[in-house]
C-alpha cells in the first residue's frame, strides 16, 4: 500500500492486538460461565494483551512520527507465551470434563 499515510500500519496492528485481547477475555468469560476457575487467568491474559498492544502501538507511533527506526517487538514473546498458556489451559479443561463432576 504505497500511498497510505505513515502510521496506518501501526494502527491496524493495534486493532489486531485489541481483537486478540478481547478474544482471550471472551474465552475466559465463557470458561467462568461454565464453572471453570482458570477462566480468571485467561481473562487476565486478555487484559495483558490489550495493555501490551497499546504500549507497543504508542511506542511505534512515536517512532514513526519522529522518523526513528521502529524498535524490535520483544513483547511478541510475552503474547506468544500467553497464547500457549491459554491453549494448554483449554486442553486441560477439555479433558477434565464439565465443572462439578
Which of 45, 47, 52, 53 lies closest to 81 in space, CA to CA?
Answer: 45
Length of the chain: 101
Model-level pTM? 0.78
- On the question of pLDDT at 99 being above 70, the answer is no
Structural domain boundaries in the chain: 8-96
What is the rounded distance in angstroms from the CA atom of residue 53 to the CA atom of residue 16?
9
- On the question of pLDDT at 2 being above 80, the answer is no
Helix (H) or strand (E) holding 49: helix 39-66
pLDDT given for residue 11 in this prediction: 87
* 3-state SS assignment for residue 2: coil
How high does pLDDT run on average in the chain? Answer: 85
pLDDT given for residue 46 in this prediction: 92
Q: Note the pLDDT tens digit of each residue in 19-65.
A: 999 999 999 999 999 888 888 989 999 999 999 999 999 998 899 88
pLDDT given for residue 86 in this prediction: 84
| Residues 6+ away with beta carbon under 8 Å from 90 | 27
Helix (H) or strand (E) holding 94: helix 75-96
- On the question of pLDDT at 101 being above 90, the answer is no
User: To which residue does cell 495483558 refer?
Assistant: 48
DSSP state of 7: T
Q: Note the pLDDT tens digit of each residue in 60-81.
A: 889 988 999 988 888 888 888 8
Q: Please give the grid coordinates belonging to residue 11.
A: 494502527
Amino acid at each position: 500500500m504505497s500511498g497510505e499515510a505513515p502510521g496506518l500500519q501501526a494502527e491496524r496492528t493495534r486493532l489486531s492486538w485489541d481483537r486478540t485481547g478481547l478474544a482471550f477475555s471472551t474465552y475466559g468469560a465463557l470458561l467462568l460461565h461454565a464453572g471453570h476457575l482458570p477462566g480468571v487467568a485467561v481473562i487476565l491474559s486478555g487484559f495483558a494483551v490489550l495493555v501490551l498492544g497499546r504500549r507497543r502501538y504508542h511506542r511505534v507511533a512515536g517512532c514513526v512520527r519522529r522518523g526513528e527506526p521502529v524498535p524490535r517487538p520483544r513483547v511478541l514473546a510475552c503474547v506468544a507465551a500467553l497464547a500457549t498458556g491459554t491453549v494448554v489451559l483449554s486442553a486441560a479443561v477439555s479433558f477434565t470434563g464439565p465443572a462439578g463432576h
